[in-house]
Amino acid sequence: MNPVSASPPPADLVMLGVVSGNPGHPPSLRSAKKAAEASDKLHEACGVFGVFAPQEQVAHLCYLGIYALQHRGQESAGICVSDGEQLRLHREMGLVSQVFSEESLARLTGSVGLAHTRYSTTGSSQVTNAQPLVFEHGQLGPVAISHNGNLTNAQALRHSLFEEGYAFATSSDTEVLAGLLARTPGDNLELVLQRCLPRVLGAYSLGFLTRDSLVAARDELGLRPLCIGRLGEPDAPGGEGYIIASESCALDVIGARLVREVLPGEIVTIDARGLHSARFGERRDPAMCSFEFIYFSRPDSVIQNRSLYEVRLAMGRRLAAEAPVDGDLVIPLPDSGTPAAIGYAQASGIPFAEGMIKSRYINRTFIQPHQGMRDAGVRLKFNPMPHVLAGKRVVLVDDSIVRGSTSRQIVEALRRAGASEVHMRVASPPIRFPCFMGIDIASRSELIAAERTAEEVGHIIGADSLDYLSLDGLRWALDSAPGQAGFCFACLDGIYPLQVPQQLEMDKLALEG
């Protein structure tokens, strides 16, 4: 077994299996992080995937599952499996395809598995923060944990654990949760979670692996998605199994079928007895992150029995009704703006066209050589087609604008390609407030729309006009009436579904003078 750092981990945090890669912060990943921070998209934290299949070797299924969830995090990936006696772990920095090989997967033998792909919002980008994490529980033995979300009271909990003598091996809030669980008594994980999770505030969709079970839990607001799938049939030859996954698209890739979502405030345990459920904490009005529908989740996923593709089409149709413009072509910023652009074209009667081609081989690991090449990443990723755009009044549809940097470069590129006018339409309301529940927005000062009108933002990015979908229009597309529980719109309206620690709030909400 290789430790993840030169100093020994605390007794509660057991680092198992093959853990390789530079334990520091490699220059390429620092560059990737800077590129992400400068980009015009929100970044979310992590994909969770787990398999319980008594008659299968599950490592390859876990690999396929997190490969399908790669869009949720591109910094690190890991898989932990159990053969009923021992937990084996492999995790490294990098994309799923870079982290795993046939040899590494062959070493991960077992019929229960838990996997993770990470984008960091709390905790730095280094291998010690890669997941799953494995900790030792005095009564349960080794337990692996994977986490999607962000704990708003992580610092207070970290301080409390430190005062109790806990020596942290990582900087992630996931270890804070692991430390709490390790110190919570109980002869089964369900009981431990029922006792521990009410102390934890914020967003968390969790997967756990013990020697003989797979467990899932979701915060009481249901901020982050988590679903349950079924692999095979009870009487089918070759056996059956259960899956937990951040999105249903990960079920599709392994031939599993969607059963249902893990409910807010629910603990689901899957073991030799089957699937059983328990509740924890208070029953609260659900407040799922609306940006799962706007951008984060893949359009081929289903959440709350809604096709995300159909929801994004509806956003585009409503945007066309709210913000019409005379144009010759509707084009998307590929790929995230495509469904809304199709909806806009359908409702407006303006022809849809692919005006830009996106390279499928550029990701956030692209290294910008120096300041003078800042635009190179955008030019490599999005290439306008002059023969489509020349002389045309273009309606450019995207899902959101965060900082405005990419939008400005795209508008400039369209004009260089010959577009006579560029009208930008955004299929979400303006983002004016930071998120405390797992979206990577450091402060209001980063947000181009925080204190600017649509006209002012349009002027900054160089568009002939710019308009956003209204909040009422977004609610309409989500089938959520004003005042009705079900979604969190905090980054759009500043109304947070849970109390935010005062210092965290001051740091993030303050605008630079």
Q: Which residues are catalytic?
A: 46
Count CB-CB contacts under 10 A for residue 450: 16
Q: If we measure between CA atoms, which residue out of 233, 259, 159, 157 comes closest to residue 198?
A: 157
Residue pair 383/93 in contact (Cβ under 8 Å)? The answer is: no
Residue found by looking up tokens 């084009």 in the block? 331
Alpha carbon of residue 150 to chain centroid = 11
107-124 burial code (b ≥16 CB/10 A, e <16): ebebbbbbbbbbbbbbbb
d(CA 420, CA 160): 60
Question: Measuring CA to CA, which residue among 235, 24, 2, 225 is closest to residue 104?
Answer: 2
Q: Residue 287: is it exposed, middle or buried by C-beta count within 10 angstroms (0-12/13-18/19+)? A: buried
Q: How far apart are CA 78 and CA 513, in angstroms?
A: 42
Q: Supply the DSSP symbol for 451.
A: T
Return the closest-CA partner of residue 382 out of 69, 40, 67, 96.
40
Using CB atoms within 10 Å of the CB of residue 460, give its burial: 0 to 12 exposed, 13 to 18 middle, 19+ buried: middle
For residue 335, cis peptide bond before it (omega within 30 degrees of 0): yes
